[in-house]
Amino acid sequence: MVSHDVAEAEGVTGTVPSRASTGGLPLAVDLDGTLIATDTLWESVLLLTRRDPLALLRLPLWYLKGKAHLKRSLADRVLPSVAAFPYRPEVVAHIEKARAAGRPVLLLTASDQRVADAVRDHLGLFDEAVGSDGVRNMRGDAKRRFLEERYGPRGFAYAGDSAADVPVWQGAGEAVLVGVSPSLAAAASGGGTVTRIDLPSRARASAVVKALRPHQWVKNILLFVAPILGYRVDSFGMVVETLAAFFSFSFAASAGYVLNDLLDLESDRLHSTKKSRPFAAARLSIPEGLLLALACLAGALLLSLATRPVFTLAVAGYFVATVTYSVYLKRKLIVDVVVLALLFTYRVLAGGLAVDVPVSFWLLAFSLFLFTGLAFAKRYSDLVRQLAEGKDRAHGRNYSAADLPTILSVGSGCGLVAVMVFALYIHSPEVRLLYPRPQALWIVCPVLLYWFTRVWFLAARNELNDDPIVFAIKDRNSYLAGLVAAACLLAAKW
């Protein structure tokens, strides 16, 4: 064991206590994967992606100068919200037990020093925090040397979780293994005592399904609109192409959902319901999410090849648009709603491209106004929910409680314009070519008025808990309205 004077001479701060004076070995605790169920380097990269995407071009240059330099360069630009980190309660309890026994507790992490200091200040559980300093990457052998210089061989306990921690465990008087596999536990044995902290098992399969959000795939039913209304789903080949288009868009949407969740980690962790999403709750890691998004995108493009080449371009364009929305546009006032409406309308247009069915001006105009109104209804519902929780703003959005009257008037007005477009369509020359009895279509107008107005009533009552399209799939009254509208279309056609 080194003395306090030697420690100061070597640039190590803090008092070096003896084991006898503290009632046990000093405890050093790793951060990434041990104290928290995430990786701060990945968190910082994602945060930089959201705030300054162009800065990502500098990542290779920073990395060439060493991982410590990379982490310091990221910390100079972004600092994750440590209050939102998914802390492991089992490790926190172990730290509290050590402190109660009078043992010094040190946060020792390969994360940048600024992140380490922020975690220390937030939790108030550590006597000191030591991290990478821009030159030295505090990982593996570097951690062991630091601890042995300060406390002497086997003069410390160390809590870690990964293969990089094996050298530290082998030099520790007590190896604290956090959720490690049996093979890693065997490699960590170095003659000291071993303490295991078991973690709850992660249901990875169910987490993957939840991350893909298959319930949101119902939005892609819009791809069937143009083929059905054009009465072109009349052969097996058309059905196959339409189904391939549906699943292609669905996988592309899932890739977008995964990337959106990764970029919104901090925001989701502060949300009352989104905090349970797989990445926010750390049921899936960030690298797993990136691989999942890549696999979904590859599947989407492969499926699109079963249709027409132009549809493959449409799928690629849709994915780029959703990523741009997630990274930048979703936080722009009004722009976010317009983009959402365009993405819904884009689905209708893409459905026509998949089977070479032209989409009429009337259908595009109706879709644009209808989905703009529904997008505003979603924003209205989000604000009402935030107000019920005592918050004045929708987290991660550029809307406040003062905007509620404006959102109500613009959103409901867009829905009424959509109904007006449909009414004008009934008297258009195109209708007379498709429908022998177009007068039957008039009944659709009051049905649309009923359904759209009901959506707004539910939004105002804080009862619209889903995306309006997803809500319609689950809502009995929406099914009834849809059946009446379909019966009217059939009556007009035959």
How far apart CA 18 and CA 370 sit, in angstroms, is 72
- pLDDT score at 179: 92
Query: Rounded mean pLDDT of 32-45?
Result: 95
Question: Of 112-126, 312-326, 426-440, which one has max mean pLDDT?
Answer: 112-126
As a whole number of angstroms, the distance between CA 483 and CA 15 comes to: 76
Q: What is the pLDDT of residue 1?
A: 30
Q: What residues does each domain of the chain span?
A: 4-197
Tokens 């799939």 sit on residue:
473
Phi first, then psi, for residue 197 (nearest 5°) are: -115, 105
Residue-wise pLDDT for 372-417, tens only, equals 999 999 889 888 888 887 777 766 677 888 889 999 999 999 999 9
pLDDT: which is higher, 70 or 427: 70
pLDDT band at 360 (very low <50, low <70, confident <90, very high): confident
Q: How do residues 144-198 score in pLDDT, each as one tens digit?
A: 999 999 999 999 999 999 999 999 999 999 999 999 988 888 888 766 789 999 9
Tokens matching residue 437: 């009895």
What is the distance between the alpha carbons of residues 176 and 266, in angstroms, rounded to a whole number? 29
Percent above pLDDT 70 for the chain: 93
Q: What is the separation, in whole angstroms, between the first and last Cα of the chain?
A: 93
pLDDT at 12: 36
Q: What is the pTM of this model?
A: 0.81
Give the number of other Cβ atoms within 10 Å of residue 3's Cβ.
Answer: 9
Q: Are 46 and 117 in contact (CB under 8 A)?
A: no
- Alpha-carbon Rg of the chain, whole angstroms? 29
Mean pLDDT of 247-262: 94
- Quote the pLDDT of residue 111: 96
CATH number among 3.30.450.20, 3.40.50.1000, 3.40.50.720, 3.30.360.10, domain 4-197:
3.40.50.1000
Band (pLDDT 50/70/90 cuts) for residue 454 is very high
* Average pLDDT across the chain, whole number: 87
